[in-house]
């Protein structure tokens, strides 16, 4: 009787969610809802104290306290919330305790359409406002249409920023170095081209570009050695994992594993000299989003493994090995249209479910 009363109390008490336990390859895993009632949540990152910031594509930012409560954060930029555009990723840099800076990526209105942009502000002491927010970068020359914004942001080991930009639905633009479409860029924290970028000094190239030939990269993370890993949408088949190298061409739309949605062949095939092969690809497409290489802190068996979410098939994909392979598909109510996955400071894994409008925390059950 006492246990029943406690259970009823936990269900009815605001902000408290009853956990479920799953048996996975890493052992017994506890899944607990951290926030609900979100409208198309997109990106998540953590403050050093374990609280989380999560974006909604429509243009809102929330601070999650880890106890089931969320509070809106004011001072976010006006975004182009149409199609796949809107407020997208969020990144908290390693020096947050000193700088209190928070970086956002988003779609911003441009002449003739919209493009991927990056901005930053300082989070107020009470966590309720981004102060002094300013845009530090936007793609050029701009694109029409409402798809393929890419838009993950990752802090490199040297403090520079990697940002993924989709081809914006203009396939061949991903092979044009005079445009940011279909590229990974590398910029300083003030938005300038980062020193050492491969195309600095070339008049015909955008100086921020680090790599190109990408279609729509919606996942990005560093591996345990600090190397950039990018996960991107193919067309009908051919979603890719790429370990990104300086100045490299990843082939879209000249080479690809997959076909156009019409069934027509893409480009020249699956390989061409001077163009990189993916480390792994899915066929059929899973529509991957978000990316995390796990430290092993709470789940040692998963150390160094890559995780990404499937928007299409509602699961969390775990990849490992050499060559890289998908070795586990983690499923549950919490993986409905998995939009992002990230590791918290304590080693817990947080999953953003766009389908449920919710955020979940995975921790060790015992």
Q: What is the DSSP letter of 10?
A: H
148 among known catalytic residues:
yes
How is residue 7 written in tokens? 């259970």
Pairing verdict, β 52-56 and 61-64: antiparallel
**Which string of DSSP letters, residue by residue, matches 239-262?**
EEEEE--TT-B--TTTB-SSB-TT
Q: What contacts 64, CB < 8 A, 6 or more positions away?
A: 34, 35, 51, 52, 53, 54, 70, 359
Are 362 and 30 within 8 A, CB to CB?
A: yes
Given 148, 180, 233, 305, the catalytic residue: 148
Pairing verdict, β 61-64 and 183-187: unpaired
Torsion of the alpha carbons at 25, 322, 248 and 156, rounded to the nearest 10: 50
| Distance (Å) of CA 28 to CA 5, 25, 133, 209, 350 | 26, 8, 42, 43, 16
Question: Can you name the residues that pair with 23 across neighbouring β-strands?
Answer: 28
Residue of 260, 258, 231 whose CA lies nearest to 244: 231
Catalytically active residues are 148
């Amino acid at each position: 009787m006492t246990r029943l009363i406690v259970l009823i109390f936990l269900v009815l008490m605001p902000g408290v969610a009853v956990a479920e336990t799953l048996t996975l390859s890493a052992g017994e895993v506890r899944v607990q809802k951290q926030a609900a009632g979100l409208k198309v949540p997109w990106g998540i990152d953590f403050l050093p104290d374990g609280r989380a910031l999560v974006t909604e594509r429509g243009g809102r930012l929330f601070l999650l306290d880890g106890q089931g409560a969320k509070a809106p954060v004011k001072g976010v930029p006006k975004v182009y919330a149409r199609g796949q555009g809107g407020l997208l990723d969020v990144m908290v840099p390693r020096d947050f305790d000193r700088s209190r800076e928070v970086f956002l990526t988003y779609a911003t209105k441009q002449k003739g359409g919209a493009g991927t942009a990056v901005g930053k502000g300082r989070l107020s002491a009470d966590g309720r406002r981004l102060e002094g927010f300013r845009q530090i970068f936007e793609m050029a020359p701009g694109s029409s249409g409402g798809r393929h914004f890419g838009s993950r942001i990752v802090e490199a080991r040297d403090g520079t920023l990697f940002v993924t930009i989709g081809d914006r639905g203009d396939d061949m633009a991903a092979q044009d170095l005079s445009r940011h479409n279909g590229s990974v860029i590398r910029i300083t924290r003030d938005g300038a081209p980062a020193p050492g970028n491969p195309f600095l000094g070339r008049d015909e190239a955008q100086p921020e570009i680090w790599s190109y030939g990408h279609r729509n990269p919606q996942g990005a993370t560093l591996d345990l050695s600090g190397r950039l890993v990018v996960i991107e949408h193919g067309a009908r088949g051919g979603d890719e994992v790429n370990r990104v190298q300086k100045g490299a061409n990843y082939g879209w739309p000249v080479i690809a594993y997959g076909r156009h949605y019409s069934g027509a062949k893409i480009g020249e095939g699956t390989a061409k000299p001077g163009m990189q092969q993916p480390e792994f690809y899915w066929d059929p497409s899973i529509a991957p989003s978000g990316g995390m290489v796990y430290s092993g802190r709470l789940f040692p068996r998963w150390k160094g493994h890559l995780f990404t979410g499937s928007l299409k098939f509602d699961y969390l994909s775990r990849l490992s090995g050499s060559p890289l392979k998908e070795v586990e598909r983690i499923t549950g109510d919490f993986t409905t249209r998995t939009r992002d996955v990230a590791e918290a400071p304590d080693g817990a894994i947080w999953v953003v479910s766009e389908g449920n409008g919710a955020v979940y925390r995975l921790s060790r059950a015992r």
